[in-house]
Amino acid sequence: MTDAIGVGLLGLGNVGGAVATALLERAAALEERAGAPLALRRVAVRDPGKARDAALPPGLLTGDAGAVVADPAVDLVIEVIGGEGAAGALVRDALARGKHVVSANKELIAKAGPELFALARAHGAALRFEASVGGGIPVIAPLLRDLPANRLSAVRGIINGTTNFILTAMAQRGAAFADALAEAQALGYAESDPTNDVDGHDAAYKIAILASLAFGARVPPEAVAVEGIRALAPQDFRYARELGYAIKLLATAERHGEAVLARVHPALLPERQPLARVDGVQNAVQLSGDLAGTLTFQGAGAGPGPTASAVLADALAIAAALAAGAPPPWDPGPWREAASPGPGAIETRYYLRMAVPDRPGVLAAIARELGEARVSIAAVEQRETQPERGTAELAIMTHRARESAVDAALAALRLLPEAHAVNAVLRVEDGP
């Protein structure tokens, strides 16, 4: 029998608990797949005194994560702590010791990926991170392994399970934002700081990773234009439905020549589009290649089971290579830094929701400002909101326009005495 591969697990929370349970309960099946046993040697947590669901053999749990990484019996470190601080130091330490690492940490990979890949390369170690994007959906391995002959032009998707769960609950059940978020947290979908989900940063880390891999040029997370979902109001879902659209937190990265434009924001998607029907915790990633065309990968984007599936796929790939005496599997390679054309280059249709006085001339004044900025109106809906105060709400759908033109129109509309407020500005993505 091949020697066991010693596993050190860092973190025993939502994901770590499911990984530990699978390693223990499926040991025989995993050994058969890897060609060597995967032996869980030690598990590090912040608070070893805390009650846990995962039933571990005695003596495995410790509060000293550094000792797990340093343990000579640990060949493979699985990092499911999250964040860049402690987790980053532990991953660097493991790679510097030549230990292989599997991480679900999108923040760390997005911020420090190139440095970590270089460290792994220098020490003959593997660093894999399938679970960092799309939970249980295999997307990173197919991107690197199966599409290298393509020139990819775009990556788009719904890549945050928590916000998709919240938006679906708000659209389909009329749920309040806070209740839907609490439900997503209880189901183990949310980040330890859920503002990372709600404000779009988690999706920004993920699109930064996907874009860097797809285009072979590093897109740092700070180059991603980000808007979260907090400003959405119940009436936006109603207008969207009436106009034939769903609202999703969409992440996109597109080539503009050799530059890459990456963004995360809520968007209206036509109901006929497959992404508009990706609901609940489901995620979907679309990759557009010049040879393969558009491919869509869909599945559970968060949650302990799906994420453990992706973590263990990486662990098995490394274990199988070690058992076969092969070099550690793939390395994304060095990346040049991608240039960004800036958000002014975005061109889509737009949905605007405005509070206006309900009197003659208002619509004409608004249409004039939009027209002067060369933004053309495609459809308008007006609702009386407070008839006693003569206030109405306008939902305007524009034709395609440059973001820079829409920004100029919005600046003018905000000064217009005929408008009380512009309460929502959402892009409309007609895409594939």
CA-nearest of 386, 315, 397, 361 to 19 is 315
Chain-centre distance for alpha carbon 85: 20
Structure tokens at 110: 């997005």
* 61-69, 185-193, 218-226, 409-417 -> range binding ligand HSE (CB under 6 A): 185-193
d(CA 162, CA 18): 18
From residue 223, alpha-carbon distances to 187, 201, 211, 226, 230 in Å are 31, 12, 11, 9, 21
Structure tokens at 232: 């959405």
248 classed as catalytic = no
> Which partner from the list ligand NAP, ligand HSE, none does 197 bind, CB cut-off 5 to 8 Å by kind?
ligand HSE
Question: What would the x/- binding string for ligand HSE be over residues 112 to 151, using CB under 6 A?
Answer: -----------------------x----------------
CB closer to ligand HSE out of 304 and 328: 304
Please report which helix (H) or strand (E) contains residue 34, including its range. helix 27-34
Q: Which of residues 291-330 bind ligand HSE (CB under 6 A)?
A: 301-302
List, in sequence order, every residue forming a beta bridge with 117; answer none if it has no partner: none
162 part of the interface to ligand HSE, by CB under 6 A: yes
202 part of the interface to ligand HSE, by CB under 6 A: yes
* 109-117, 119-127, 301-309, 420-428 -> range binding ligand NAP (CB under 6 A): 301-309
CB of 313 to ligand NAP, least distance (A): 13
CB closer to ligand HSE out of 119 and 229: 229
Q: Which of residues 186-245 bind ligand NAP (CB under 6 A)?
A: 188-189, 191-192
303 part of the interface to ligand NAP, by CB under 6 A: yes
CB of 358 to ligand HSE, least distance (A): 41
> Which partner from the list ligand HSE, ligand NAP, none does 160 bind, CB cut-off 5 to 8 Å by kind?
ligand HSE
What residues contact 326, with CB distance under 8 A and at least 6 apart? none
DSSP letter (8 states) at residue 221: G
Range list of H helices, 106-248: 106-122, 140-146, 161-173, 177-186, 195-198, 201-215, 234-243
| Contacts with ligand HSE, residue ranges (CB under 6 A) | 135, 160-162, 189-191, 197, 202, 301-302
